[in-house]
């Protein structure tokens, strides 16, 4: 177990080790005569009877985080930046020592479902009020744990990341979400001409501007600009409004569904027969020719040489076929024929057995072998157009496929593993699968990426995804209109790939999932995440608590990179796009939009002041304690100057 001891202003980095004795300890120069000790056998706390003003102990500021992957580290860093103390643990056995009974939240976001499940269940057993935020990929376990979890959330990274990937691969320019019963739409389009946002879009609220090639700073993302922001022709602008309001302005929100292509039964049968002919073993045709010649030749020999009685052509064909296939009904026999004809019959029997076995083997290879299953996707891909190619059938890939198929789009999958556990699901969705290495040009060409409407590369290997994307650019050209969506793990790698290789749709799984875990840990309502350019935005809601930093704050005093889109109050209707002079009040529910880091920092200000003393007093005690400490905190290793 590791404790975050990073120094922070105003004591935010203070860490109190509960294992210290009560004989004497100090915090910020204030003597603490009491300690809080953890009883290893229970979740109860013990304290001394004497409490003084200087006995400052800040409850509910610590968040326990488990996991060593990129997502867990990002969550810990963002929570630390939001002012929380972070205690890192590795196993469920560390929960009691980490102080789960007094923590604000427990976040287990590592990739191991078993570890996350154990920590989530034990954390809830130890503390019924702590927020438990767990990552579980197993659908059955996730639903079962969510039903009994209590405060917190049980999340799946694949579910959180899939909507953004689907929107990118379909080139959707609208992101819809529901807020307090009102459907909002974030709508993106290119500025038709130069001017201010107010001149072009009137009173629609701007979310972001991505400057284009005509602006002085191409590629720059301006989050939540004012309506007087200058834009240039070709700049990508994202505006937010109510769906009905946008439609009244003539802005059509594209439907979320399409219609999968359907051919007639005759056409499908014809295509299947043609594809089957393309896939037969080349040696089948010589074998069929030999079987035909053998049957025809033996029919001629039997017709002219069989005696007592003489045979007609039909009888000769029947008897020759009967001999070749070794059926032998007994109605004809070579027993009373000449020696030469009987020797011919022996050769005919062996030749018939051989050619029959060869034909059966080739037909079985075509109809029943694994090769037929593996080439089924190739046969269907030859005739697909305007489809979506999904590379990688992992936990994210299968959800992308399911969402696209449910929305009515034709989908084709490229997968390397012939024993992938999601193949049965793909078969149920009637989605063809091509088996092969996606980094090979011929594999991508066999999926007809040149006729696809988009490609989503979502394998679990970042390097394989980047290599596949580069090969796709070589096939389609750098000026292709078909979106190429790459899945990467971390935001730094995603930004580097975007800048160096020119990919416009690189989606970081960490950026897509982290806001949900952070929001759940802080008790915030995350409504959705989406991307503008290469920057992640979030929509969230919060209840403004009495005495919080947002209580009584004007809209104009909020962060310039966040925007309040609506406010609901207990005594009145929802207020849309409140003016700059409007004030937030205790009891308001504010809905905000902006880059997720800035938005989380703003949402945190709406929370109630933390309890800062063991006897329930509020911030006054901590303020009094801080007023007596020196302006500069010496390092822990420095010599005591007073001594």
Question: How many Cα atoms sit within 13 Å of 73 on the Cβ side?
Answer: 6
**Position 233 confidence tier, pLDDT thresholds 50, 70, 90:** very high
Going from the N-terminus, what domains does the chain have, and what CATH number goes with each?
1-155+615-643 (3.40.50.720), 163-248 (3.30.70), 265-370 (1.10.287.70), 384-511 (3.40.50.720)
Q: Please report the pLDDT score of residue 9 as a whole number.
A: 41
- Res. 35: pLDDT tops 70: no
Q: Secondary structure of 281-324 in the HEC alphabet?
A: CCCHHHHHHHHHHHHHHHHHHHHHHCCCCCCCHHHHHHHHHHHH
Q: Please report the pLDDT score of residue 8 as a whole number.
A: 45
Closest CA to 609 of 546, 541, 521, 554: 546
Range in 199-213, 275-289, 461-475 the model is least confident about: 275-289
pLDDT, one tens digit per residue, over 48-103 is 333 333 333 333 468 999 999 999 999 999 888 877 889 999 999 999 999 998 89
Provide the 8-state DSSP code for 460. Answer: S
Provide the 8-state DSSP code for 204. Answer: P
Tokens 């003489």 belong to residue: 310
pLDDT, one tens digit per residue, over 581-593 is 888 888 888 888 8
254 vs 508 pLDDT, higher one: 508
Dihedral, 362, 365, 367, 368 alpha carbons, nearest 10? 140
**DSSP class per residue in 97-152:** TTTGGG-SEEEE-SS-HHHHHHHHHHHHHH-SSSEEEEE---HHHHHHHHHH--SE
17 vs 243 pLDDT, higher one: 243
In this prediction, residues 378-396 reach a mean pLDDT of 89
In this prediction, residues 276-292 reach a mean pLDDT of 78
- Res. 254: pLDDT tops 80: no
- Peptide bond just before 309 cis, omega within 30 deg: yes
49 vs 144 pLDDT, higher one: 144
Tokens 């003393």 belong to residue: 613
**Position 625 confidence tier, pLDDT thresholds 50, 70, 90:** very low
Q: Secondary structure of 138-160 in the HEC alphabet?
A: CHHHHHHHHHHCCCEEEECHHHH
3-state class of 186 per DSSP? strand
**Position 5 confidence tier, pLDDT thresholds 50, 70, 90:** very low
Tokens, residue 453: 């409407």
End-to-end CA distance of the chain: 33
Proportion of the chain in helix, strand, coil states, percent, rounded to 5: 40, 20, 40
CB 425 within 8 A of CB 431: no
The sign of the dihedral angle between the CA atoms of 22, 26, 27, 31 is positive
pTM over 0.75: no
Q: Please report the pLDDT score of residue 38 as a whole number.
A: 35
Closest CA to 475 of 504, 451, 499: 451
Q: Please report the pLDDT score of residue 640 as a whole number.
A: 44
Dmax (CA) for the chain in angstroms is 133
pLDDT, one tens digit per residue, over 316-355 is 999 888 888 878 777 788 888 888 888 998 898 888 888 8
Q: Please report the pLDDT score of residue 40 as a whole number.
A: 36
pLDDT above 90: percentage of residues in the chain:
33
Burial group, residue 221, by CB count within 10 angstroms (0-12, 13-18, 19+): middle
Range in 184-188, 210-214, 269-273, 357-361 the model is least confident about: 269-273
431 vs 182 pLDDT, higher one: 431
81 vs 8 pLDDT, higher one: 81
- β-pairing, 30-32 vs 45-46, is unpaired
Tokens, residue 123: 């954390």
Closest CA to 465 of 445, 442, 493: 493
**Position 396 confidence tier, pLDDT thresholds 50, 70, 90:** very high
**Position 114 confidence tier, pLDDT thresholds 50, 70, 90:** very high
**DSSP class per residue in 259-282:** ------HHHHHHHHHHHHHHHS-T
Q: Please report the pLDDT score of residue 21 as a whole number.
A: 33
- Res. 372: pLDDT tops 90: no
Q: Please report the pLDDT score of residue 76 as a whole number.
A: 93
In this prediction, residues 366-370 reach a mean pLDDT of 60
- Res. 539: pLDDT tops 80: yes
Vertex 10, ends 620 and 8: CA angle to 5°? 150
339-367 vs 313-324: helix crossing angle, rounded to 10:
60
Q: Please report the pLDDT score of residue 257 as a whole number.
A: 55
User: Hey, which of 151-155, 201-205, 597-601 has the most confident mean pLDDT?
Assistant: 151-155
- Residues whose CB falls within 8 Å of the CB of residue 230, separated by 6 or more in sequence, listed in order: 194, 195, 196
Range in 63-67, 235-239, 399-403, 568-572 the model is least confident about: 568-572
CB 412 within 8 A of CB 431: yes
CB atoms within 10 A of CB 178: 11
Q: Please report the pLDDT score of residue 277 as a whole number.
A: 66
Q: Please report the pLDDT score of residue 597 as a whole number.
A: 79
pLDDT, one tens digit per residue, over 182-228 is 888 888 889 999 999 989 888 788 999 999 889 998 888 899 888 88
- Res. 6: pLDDT tops 50: no
């Amino acid at each position: 177990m590791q404790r975050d001891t990073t120094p922070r202003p105003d004591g935010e980095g203070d860490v109190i080790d509960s294992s210290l004795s009560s004989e004497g300890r100090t915090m910020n120069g204030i003597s603490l005569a009491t300690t809080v000790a953890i009883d290893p056998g229970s979740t109860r706390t013990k304290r001394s009877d004497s409490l003084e003003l200087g006995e400052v102990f800040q409850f509910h500021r610590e968040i326990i985080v488990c996991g060593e992957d990129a997502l867990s580290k990002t969550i810990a860093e963002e929570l630390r930046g939001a002012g929380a103390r972070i205690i890192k643990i590795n196993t469920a056995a560390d929960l009691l020592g980490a102080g789960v009974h007094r923590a604000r939240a427990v976040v287990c976001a590592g990739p191991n479902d078993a570890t996350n499940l154990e920590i989530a269940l034990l954390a809830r057993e130890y503390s019924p009020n702590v927020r438990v935020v767990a990552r579980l990929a197993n659908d059955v376990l996730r639903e079962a744990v969510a039903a009994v979890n209590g405060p917190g959330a049980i999340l799946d990274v694949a579910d959180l990341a899939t909507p953004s990937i689907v929107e990118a691969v379909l080139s959707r320019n609208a992101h819809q979400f529901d807020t307090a019963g009102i459907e909002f739409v974030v709508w993106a389009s290119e500025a038709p001409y130069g001017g201010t946002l107010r001149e072009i879009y009137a009173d629609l609220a701007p979310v972001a501007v991505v400057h284009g090639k005509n602006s002085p700073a191409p590629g720059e993302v301006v989050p939540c600009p004012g309506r007087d922001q200058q834009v240039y022709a070709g700049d990508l602008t994202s505006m937010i409004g109510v769906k009905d309001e946008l439609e009244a302005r003539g802005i059509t929100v594209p439907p979320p569904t399409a219609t999968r292509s359907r051919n007639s039964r005759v056409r499908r049968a014809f295509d299947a027969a043609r594809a089957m002919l393309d896939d037969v073993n080349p040696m089948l045709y010589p074998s069929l020719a030999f079987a035909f010649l053998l049957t025809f030749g033996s029919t001629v020999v039997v017709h002219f040489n069989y005696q007592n009685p003489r045979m007609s052509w039909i009888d000769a064909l029947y008897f020759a076929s009967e001999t070749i296939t070794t059926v032998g009904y007994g109605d004809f026999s070579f027993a009373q024929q000449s020696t030469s004809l009987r020797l011919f019959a022996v050769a005919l029997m062996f030749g018939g057995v051989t050619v029959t076995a060869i034909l059966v083997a080739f037909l079985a290879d075509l109809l029943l072998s694994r090769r037929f299953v593996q080439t089924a996707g190739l046969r269907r891909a030859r005739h697909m157009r305007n489809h979506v190619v999904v590379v990688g059938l992992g936990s994210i890939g299968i959800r992308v496929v399911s969402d696209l198929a449910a929305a009515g789009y034709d989908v084709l999958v490229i997968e390397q593993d012939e024993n992938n556990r999601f193949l049965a699901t793909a078969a149920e969705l009637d989605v063809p699968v091509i088996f092969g290495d996606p980094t090979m040009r011929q594999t991508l060409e066999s999926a007809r990426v040149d006729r696809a409407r988009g490609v989503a590369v979502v394998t679990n290997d970042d390097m394989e995804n980047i290599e596949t994307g580069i090969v796709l650019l070589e096939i389609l050209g750098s000026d292709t209109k078909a979106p190429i969506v790459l899945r990467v793990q971390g935001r730094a790698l995603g930004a580097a790939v975007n800048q160096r290789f020119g990919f416009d749709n690189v989606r970081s799984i960490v950026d897509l999932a982290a806001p949900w875990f952070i929001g759940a840990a802080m008790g915030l309502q995350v409504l959705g995440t989406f991307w503008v350019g290469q920057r992640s935005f979030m929509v969230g809601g919060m209840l403004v608590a009495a005495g919080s930093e947002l209580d009584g704050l004007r809209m104009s005093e909020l962060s310039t990179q966040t925007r309040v889109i609506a406010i609901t109050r207990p005594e009145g209707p929802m207020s849309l796009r409140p003016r700059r002079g409007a004030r937030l009040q205790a009891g308001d529910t504010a809905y905000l939009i902006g880059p997720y880091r800035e938005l989380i920092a703003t949402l945190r200000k709406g929370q109630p002041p933390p309890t800062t003393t063991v006897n329930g007093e509020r911030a006054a005690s901590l303020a009094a304690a801080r007023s007596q400490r020196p302006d500069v905190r010496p390092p822990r290793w420095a010599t005591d100057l007073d001594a």
